Amino acid sequence: AGADADAMEGGEGLLSVDYEVFGKVQGVFFRKYTQGEAKRLGLVGWVQNTSHGTVQGQIQGPTARVRELQDWLRKIGSPQSRISRADFSNEKEITALEHKDFQILK
């Protein structure tokens, strides 16, 4: 049981959510770590730096896993990063993943 039982709870579907992370998150390998964490959790989507010093992107995958990455984006990030906050928006259930993998966009 454990994690697998949680994933099945209520016929859990797929979630898509957009995010933006504020703080010292550029030039500290934040995108690379985010990609690594997303892949570890089996999530797809993307991450990129913005022109105003934040990092933004989209996460898609099983709801419980998406929640784990949201938590990670809020509290952990890359070792050198200093996260002040993470905003999440456009959260919605989806029937199929819209990305093949998790990419770092320029």
From 40, 49, 74, 90, the catalytic residue: 49
Q: Is 31 among the catalytic positions? A: yes
The catalytically annotated residue of 31, 40, 67, 74 is 31
Say if residues 56 and 19 touch (Cβ distance below 8 Å). yes
DSSP assignment of the chain equals: -THHHHHHTTS--EEEEEEEEEEE-SSSSHHHHHHHHHHHTT-EEEEEE-TTS-EEEEEEEEHHHHHHHHHHHHHT-STT-EEEEEEEEEEEEESS-S-SSEEE--
Residues carrying an active site annotation: 31, 49
